[in-house]
Amino acid sequence: MIEEYEKKGNEKNEQLLIDLCESYLFLGCSLSSESLSICISCLLKVALNQKKDEDAQIKVEMALLALSNIYLRIDAKTELYVNSIEKIIKHHQEYCNLTRLAYQSTWKFLINQFFCIRRLEDVIVNELHFAREARRELKELSNCVNWKRKEEEEGKTRIEAKEIMIIKRWLDELEAYFRSCKLWNEEFVGLLGSIVEIFREARDNHKVVSCNCIESLESITENRDVNVCCLLESGAVDVVMEELVQLNIENLRISYCLGFCSSICGRLNINKGKKKDIAEQKELKKKLFEKMEEQGYEDLIFVLCNCIVVKRTRNYFLITNFKDYFIYY
């Protein structure tokens, strides 16, 4: 139907074609290259509408949300698609014409393409300032949420539920991006700091969000292009240590926290490092352990060194009486 409507030229029903394209992308249907190209071209035309009225914003939001479902698909027109998305991001940065969901979806579409078009990273990091933008969005979204209200509590406003949903989408995208990024600047330290802040706010009443936060922090420890110093500066190490000494810690959060610690230990393993990096690793290791001792985590260091931990498909399992090994202050 998509291909048939596209061939009708001036006789085609534009809105019906838009509806068809959005529906197929939302459903995750397998489309031919021709159909996919039609969908992207059609919906980008909608997304490029720069009007600020509510009706136009809703249409733009739906188009961008649908486009954000496209992963790793490249054809001869990819360059044009990416240029259009860059234009949408830059226009919003200047005029703030998009809804929060639309803006997040725009970034999601661009980063989905980055995973197979590596040269996009320079544009994402240095030209469009992804880390700075994500940090600002997360902070503003977090300010709209009453984190003291329990996740399952009735009466949560529809607006607040939407803000939490967008926060989760950002965190999911960051978790995937952190594993693959190569470029790094000071803006990312601030972004990690905002994830730490959201985790602390969501820890007690919003388990899904708090798990997303720890998972994002864990993912970045596995990326060897990221300096461990950034994890210290951002407060990521502090929040993981705080979490590991909690009596009521959830099993899934234990898994992510232990993954975080395991990855850092691996990164600081002097025997596996290059000779030229050994001095730097020793200094960083010293700084990390001094910080942990300063915060009173000496017993936690001992526990993590002596507990039996088995890794299976990225899940970490502890000995049954794990909690009995902790000394609480």
Kindly tell me if the per-residue pLDDT of 108 is higher than 80. yes
> Token match 């060194």: residue?
305
Is 289 exposed, middle or buried, given 0-12, 13-18 or 19+ CB atoms closer than 10 A? middle
Q: How far is residue 6's CA from residue 215's CA, in Å, rounded to a whole number?
A: 43
Residue, of 274 and 105, whose pLDDT is higher: 105
pLDDT per residue as tens digits for the range 163-188: 999 999 999 999 999 988 999 889 99
What is the rounded average pLDDT of the residues 26-55?
A: 86
Confidence of residue 299 (pLDDT cuts 50, 70, 90): low
CB atoms within 10 A of CB 210: 25
For residues 273 and 92, the model is more confident at: 92
Q: Which of 16-20, 137-141, 323-327 has the lowest mean pLDDT?
A: 323-327
Give the pLDDT confidence score for residue 102 in this predicted structure: 97
Model confidence, pTM: 0.85
pLDDT score of 280: 73
DSSP output for 206-267: -HHHHHHHHHHHHHHHT-TTS-HHHHHHHTHHHHHHHHHT-TT--HHHHHHHHHHHHHHHHH
93 pLDDT more than 70: yes
Q: Closest Cα partner for 328 from 235, 253, 249, 254?
A: 249
Residues in the chain: 329
Please give the structure tokens belonging to residue 114: 């980055």
Q: What is the pLDDT of residue 161?
A: 86
Query: Is 164 within 8 Å of 206 (Cβ atoms)?
Result: yes
Looking at the predicted structure, is the pLDDT value of residue 70 above 70?
yes
Q: Which residue has the higher pLDDT, 248 or 79?
A: 79
